[in-house]
C-alpha cells in the first residue's frame, strides 16, 4: 500500500515541478522548446541530483523514460494553457510549495536504502537557499 502511494506521489511531484518550470518559461515568453526544456529540467533535476548523490545509477529517468514523457506532455499542455491564469507568479509559488511537500518522501527513500540521511537532508538546504533568492526578486 505504501509503495503504491509513494509511486503516485513521485509521479505527481514530477508533474508539479514540470508545471513550475513551464510556468517560469511562460513568464519569460519562451517558445514550445523552452517550455519543454525548463519543464523537464525542473521535473527530473532534483531527483537526478538525489540519485547521483546516493549512488543510485542509472538515475530514475534513464531507467524509466516515462518520467521524461510526463515532463514533455505536462510542459506542452502548459504552453497552450499558461495564458489563462492572471498571476503566473503566484501559481508558480503554489506549485513549487506543493512539489516540495510531495517530494518530502525523498529522505524516506534514501533511509530505506540504508544511505546516509545527511545527504538526503542537504537537498532541503538547497531548496531553502532558492526560496531566499526568490524573495529578493519579487518580480521576475
- pLDDT tens column, 73-107: 999 999 998 777 666 677 777 877 777 776 665 55
pLDDT at 93: 77
pLDDT at 105: 59
Q: Is the pTM of this model over 0.85?
A: no
Q: Which pLDDT tens digit goes with each residue over 27-85?
A: 888 999 999 999 999 999 988 998 899 998 899 899 999 999 999 999 999 999 877 76
Find the domain containing 54 and state its range.
Answer: 2-136
Mean of pLDDT values over 118-122: 50
Q: Where are the alpha helices (DSSP H) in 82-116?
A: 88-102, 106-112
By the 10 Å C-beta count (0-12 exposed, 13-18 middle, 19+ buried), 69 is classed as: exposed
pLDDT at 67: 93
Rounded CA-CA distance 18/52 in Å is 20
pLDDT at 70: 94
Report the number of distinct structural domains present in the chain. Answer: 1
Rounded CA-CA distance 45/17 in Å is 9
Judge contact between 59 and 51, C-beta under 8 A.
yes
Q: In whole angstroms, how far apart are CA 9 and each of 70, 75, 80, 100, 133? A: 14, 18, 25, 11, 27
pLDDT at 118: 52
- pLDDT at position 127 over 50: no
Amino acid at each position: 500500500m505504501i509503495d503504491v502511494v509513494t509511486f503516485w506521489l513521485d509521479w505527481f511531484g514530477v508533474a508539479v515541478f514540470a508545471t513550475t518550470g513551464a510556468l517560469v518559461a511562460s513568464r519569460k515568453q519562451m517558445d514550445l522548446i523552452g517550455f519543454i526544456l525548463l519543464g523537464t529540467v525542473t521535473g527530473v533535476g532534483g531527483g537526478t541530483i538525489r540519485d547521483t548523490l546516493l549512488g543510485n545509477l542509472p538515475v530514475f529517468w534513464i531507467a524509466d523514460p516515462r518520467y521524461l514523457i510526463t515532463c514533455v506532455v505536462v510542459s506542452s499542455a502548459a504552453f497552450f494553457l499558461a495564458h489563462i491564469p492572471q498571476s503566473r507568479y503566484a501559481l508558480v509559488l503554489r506549485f513549487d510549495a506543493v512539489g516540495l511537500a510531495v517530494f518530502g518522501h525523498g529522505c524516506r527513500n534514501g533511509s530505506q536504502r540504508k544511505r546516509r540521511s545527511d545527504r538526503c537532508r542537504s537537498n532541503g538546504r538547497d531548496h531553502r537557499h532558492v526560496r531566499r533568492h526568490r524573495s529578493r526578486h519579487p518580480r521576475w
